[in-house]
Every structure is written in C-alpha cells, then in structure tokens.
Structure 1
C-alpha cells in the first residue's frame, strides 16, 4: 500500500457521509426496539450489551492503573471482568461503576459521530475497540461472540454501499442506547424482589455499596440517570442530525 492509498484510506475514515433519510433513522430505531423489548429476542441480543458492559469495566480498570487479568463472556449473557490492584479506593470504585453506563455512553458517543456525518469513523472505531477487547477475552464463548460481532462491522465497512453502512451504524447506536437502559431496570427488579439476596447480591451496585458505604439504591439511581439521559440526548442527536 503506497502513500496515495494510505491518504485515500485516511480521508475515507475521517471524512463525512450524507445523513440518511428520516424514515431510515426511524426504521432502525424501531428495529432496535424490537431487539430489546421481547424477552425471546433480548436473551440473544443482550450478548452485545454484555460485551459493552464488560468492556467498560476493562477500559476503566486500565485507565485507573489496575492490571486487567481477563474478561469472560457467558452464554447466559452474564460476564466477568477480573483486574488486579488495590481492592479499595477510587480505582476500584471507578472500575465497578463503569459497567452499566458503558453501553449507553458508547451509544451517546456513536450518536454524536453520526450527527456529525462520521459513519465510517464510527464503524472503524467500533472495530478497533472490539479487537482490543478480544485480546483480553479468556473463554471460548466470549472469543466467538466478540469475533462474530467484530466480523459484522468489518464486512459492513468493506463490502456494502454507504446506505447500508449508515443503516447498520444507526441500528447499532439505537440498540446501544435502548439496550443500555433495560439491564438497569432488570437489576432494579431483581433487587426489589430479593433485597440484598439471591440474584441481587453481588451486583455492581452491591459491590459499590461495600466499597463506598453509599447504599446500593443510590448507585442504581445513578445508573438510571446516566442511561436514560444518554438515551434522551442520543435520540435527539440521531433525529435532529
């Protein structure tokens, strides 16, 4: 690949693409909603949200100076991120708090890129993040899930027309924004049914309560605020352009 090819590639990534028609933006929003609301569909699509959730834990752990040991993604859509370092303190708190907001914040960042016409940058950026995550995945199911997700971005980026790329990008961003909201409500429901026991115990909110002394319900409210605010802001960017 010569300099001219590299320049062309760079221009393609950093350039802007036309905004799709409003009907396509609304159609992708409807498709994303259909992938989040029905439980039979959600049990499969939730894997993508788990990838973002655990990736959020891992990224913040590294930024906080912790040593990331590995990430595991399971077929029941649960996940586990293991990092080494001081078991208490700001670094551990930031790592624990990062999971639930991560999909919504990624969706918000994606909406900002799409509103600026940066469809290709979004697709390539997502591919890079998935490849970085793949290095840290430590189980076969997790590797398969990340590889398939990454492959979908690569294939769409290289083999499809701009209209298809835009539709795919908008669908992904809508799904992150909408899908980031549901797990927090699910956690809230589990805690309400089994207060600090059963499935509620050991959640990120409980871990944060143990680390900070701030009640778990306060952290749940924080998760709700971040995910719902991201959905509101991201939707405005996507619809207004």
Structure 2
C-alpha cells in the first residue's frame, strides 16, 4: 500500500511550471524531428499510433465493436470496427484519425500547463496498454511496446524535471506533426495514391467533398496547435 500511495502522490502532485527556456527548447527539438526527413520517417509511427488509437477510442465511444488495429512499417495503419456501416458513429470514427493526434496533444498541453507532466506520462502508458490488447500484427506489437518502453524508462529513471521536459517535447511533437500528416494526405490524394483515405471514406458517408474534410482536419489540427501553444507559452 505504501508503494501505491507513493506512486499516486507522484502522479497527482503538480510540478512547478517549466522554465520558458525548457519549453522553447522542447518546441525546437520537436520541430527538428518534424521537419527533418531522416527523423520524421521513424517518428511518424508515433503519430500513426495516436491516429489509429483515436479511431479505436471513438469507435468504442460510438457503440461500435473494435475488431483490431494494425500498424505497418510504412507508417500506415488500419483500425477495424464492427457496427452500422453508415450513420453518425461511423462518421465520427472516420473523422477521429487525422484530428486525434492534435487533440491528444491539446489534452497533453492542458495537463502540462496545470503541472501534471508525470500524470500525463502515466496516462500515456495506460492508453498504450489499452491499445496493445487490440494490436493484430507483429510490427504494430513491436511499435507499441517500444513506445511504451521509452515512456516507462522516462518515468522510472528521469527526475520529475526531466520527465516534464520529455512530456513537453512529446506534446509539441503531436501538435506540430498533426497538421503535417494532413498536408501529406492531400498530396497523396492529389497523386491519386490514397483512394481509400479517411477523407474519401467520409465523402462517401456524407456526400461532402473529400477536400472539404481535409480542410476540416487541417483547421482542427492548426487550431489545436495554436491553442496548445498558447497554454504552454503564455
């Protein structure tokens, strides 16, 4: 019980606000990863985890039955759920993918701004554990386990200030990466390389043009970036 109480105290005790130099340094580090082609390719798997996890969470919230999630080495992914093939639940499930990473980042920014960096990392571990049981391929299993191992190592070995700095870098990464994936989506659609994209599926479900959905994804992601950045820096 003492160990549980000590862990709970660590998770729930607010930390002092991070210095501006640390927040800006975390922002610059995340920006380098997002803008560097060599670093973006492997880091994009983290965005795919958030993307497919968002599909899964919204599918469950909409009353659908989650049938499994796959993550692929080319940074694509697939979430399969069972239920009505049309309707609001299906629309929300499809729309969650490209907005999910940004909204996760926005929630993380809110926790960081409130001083709950350690709680944020443990919440991330919990979400990864929930995702793990839905993974249906070996690469996806490895990707989620590797991500979880990194977060677990940070929570176990770094002091609270180091954990907060890591959480800030991860938060900035999600906020910056989300709009980039939407721009990549539109470039792929322009080349007709993504005929079954989330935007095109939504077009079939709602009869609204796919490009309108791409614009909505981008609007949500940029809005989350601006709001999250405001919470962190102002």
After TM superposition, the score normalised by the length of structure 2 is 0.97
**Superposed displacement of residue 32, structure 1:** 0.3
SS of 2:78 mapped into structure 1: strand
- Is residue 2:19 matched to residue 1:21? yes
Between the aligned partners of 1:121 and 1:162, the Cα distance in structure 2 is 11
- Is residue 2:55 matched to residue 1:57? yes
Between the aligned partners of 2:168 and 2:42, the Cα distance in structure 1 is 20
**Superposed displacement of residue 21, structure 1:** 1.5
**Superposed displacement of residue 6, structure 1:** 2.7
The equivalent residue for 2:214 is 220
Cα-to-partner distance string for 1:89-134 (whole Å, 9 max, x where unaligned): 1111111000000000000000000000001110100000001000
SS of 1:71 mapped into structure 2: strand
Between the aligned partners of 2:22 and 2:4, the Cα distance in structure 1 is 32
Between the aligned partners of 1:143 and 1:19, the Cα distance in structure 2 is 35
Gaps of 5+ in 2: none
Within 5 Å, give how 1:105-124 maps onto structure 2. Answer: 105-124=103-122
Cα-to-partner distance string for 1:155-201 (whole Å, 9 max, x where unaligned): 1112111121111000100000001110101112222x33xxx3131
Gaps of 5+ in 1: none
The equivalent residue for 1:211 is 205
- Is residue 2:232 matched to residue 1:234? no
Query: Equivalent of 2:138, from 132, 137, 140?
Result: 140
Cα-to-partner distance string for 1:63-103 (whole Å, 9 max, x where unaligned): 11111110000000000001111111111111100000000
The equivalent residue for 1:7 is 5
Within 5 Å, give how 1:30-109 maps onto structure 2. Answer: 30-109=28-107
- Is residue 2:185 matched to residue 1:187? yes
Provide the alpha-carbon RMSD of the alignment: 1.0
**Superposed displacement of residue 234, structure 1:** 0.6
Between the aligned partners of 1:45 and 1:162, the Cα distance in structure 2 is 24
**Superposed displacement of residue 7, structure 1:** 2.5
